[in-house]
Amino acid sequence: MREKSSTLIGKMRHRIKFQTLSLVGDGQGGSVETWTDFAEVWAEVKPTSGRERMYAQRIEDLQDHKITIRYLEGINTTMRIVFNERIFQIKDITNDVESKFWQTLMTQETPGT
């Protein structure tokens, strides 16, 4: 495990930010959705696949990424990740080896960002 730890730490060169969705009052009795920063961490971001889909009469590129971080309590699939002004939806979170040391996040980059 120690060898894997030092290898992964060296690959964590990307700074990512986790954000949560909140509803904030708009002052007129309604509410507005806003993204609030939850945590900023070092990560390894690796593209895994890409494909295209037809949406609203246009072709969109969909890019999947695998993001590895040190274990972070409280993250979930309702959050999003911001990396270099790009937005990623979290599709799955795996606690590697159930050790609470590493987490692998399978994500999809939001089209148009």
- The number of folded domains in the chain is 1
Tens of pLDDT, residues 30-69: 888 999 999 999 999 998 875 555 454 555 577 899 999 9
pLDDT at 52: 53
User: What is this structure's pTM?
Assistant: 0.78
DSSP letters for the chain: -HHHHHHHHHH--EEEEEEEEEEEE-SSS-EEEEEEEEEEEEEEEEEEEEEEEEETTEEEEEEEEEEEEE--TT--TT-EEEETTEEEEEEEEEEGGGSSSEEEEEEEEPTT-
Tens of pLDDT, residues 78-87: 999 999 999 9
**Residues 58 and 27 sit within 8 Å (Cβ to Cβ):** no
Domain range for 21: 2-109
Residue 54's CATH number: 2.40.10.270
